[in-house]
Amino acid sequence: MLIDTHAHYDHKRFDCGRYSLLEEIISSGVGKVVNPAIAFDSNYVMRKFFDDCPWLYYAVGIHPNCLGEENAEQDTKWETELRELAEDSKTVAIGETGLDYYRVQDTEMRARQRVWFHKQLEIAREIKLPVILHIRDADDEAVQILKEHPLQHSGVVHCFGGDTARAAEYMDMGLFLGIGGRITYPQEEAVRNAVRQIPMEAILLETDSPYVKPKEAPGSRNTSLNLMEVVKAISDLKQLTYEEVITITTGNAERLFNFQD
């Protein structure tokens, strides 16, 4: 069984044919999917779409690029409701949360990202859940925050794109690395070499659907149907069979997320 640890099936790009696609995904051998929140409202949209899909699980949170301007009343409401949503039996993680300085240059907005990163790390500690981390062009600061506030229930660095040294930093904190379609591109040599070097026990499979489509995958959007392209790339880089890659990464995901079947 394959597990896609990061996909966004509440995204508008799946509005056409969402449920037929999900049926095809399950038939293809993908047994579980984790659907993390992006904007705050997606925490509720997911439930509207997927509460009747027992194999699709939630991560609740707010993406660092979806925080908007500071609003004390709204922020209090968000924090309260995230804590409530985190208690749901289908919720397996907090996220995606973290820091994204790639698109945000404004000092105040970066500070707001840090505030909400801290808030969501605290919720994860309180509810005893792992975190799904979105870190882009902010690794040094994210590592420092994580060192100051050690995770008690681990987590995963989603869409990992760093080198071997950065991978070692995250692994030293007990984090998994989410590996997806970018390793299918030859120009992504840093992350490809990192995958060669790191232990399989640190790797989770993900697609980030509808984003980060593998190099040879058809169509204009990514889906969990392309997860085997990631398996094949890891198999080639690490000289393992497909079955070995699937078995180890599935075990990793099950340990991290503690799925309640």
Per-residue pLDDT tens, the chain, 261 aa: give them.
Answer: 999 999 999 999 999 999 999 999 999 999 999 999 999 999 999 999 999 999 999 999 999 999 999 999 999 999 999 999 999 999 999 999 999 999 888 999 999 999 999 999 999 999 999 999 999 999 999 999 999 989 999 999 999 999 999 999 999 999 999 999 999 999 999 999 999 999 999 999 999 999 999 999 999 999 999 999 999 999 999 999 999 999 999 999 999 999 977
Which has the closest alpha carbon to 179: 196, 169, 216? 196
What pLDDT shows up at residue 105? 86
End-to-end CA distance of the chain: 14
Tokens 């009747």 sit on residue:
52
CB 25 within 8 A of CB 228: no
How many angstroms separate the CA atoms of 25 and 169, rounded? 34
What are the phi and psi torsion angles at 90 (to 5°)? -90, -5
Helix axes 72-86, 42-50, angle to 10 degrees: 30
Q: Is 145 exposed, middle or buried (0-12, 13-18, 19+ CB in 10 A)?
A: middle
The pTM of the full predicted model, rounded to 2 decimals, is 0.97
What gap in Å lies between CA 166 and CA 160, rounded to an integer? 9
Token code pair at residue 42:
């997606």
| Enclosing H/E stretch for 157 | strand 155-157
Q: pLDDT at position 67, please?
A: 97
Query: How confident is the model at residue 253, as a pLDDT?
Result: 98
> What pLDDT, on a 0 to 100 scale, did the predictor assign at position 103?
85
Q: Which amino acid would we find at residue 165?
A: A
Q: How far apart are CA 185 and CA 113, in angstroms?
A: 30
Helix (H) / strand (E) containing 60: strand 56-60
At 196, give phi and psi (nearest 5°). Answer: -60, -35
Peptide bond into 96 cis (omega under 30): yes
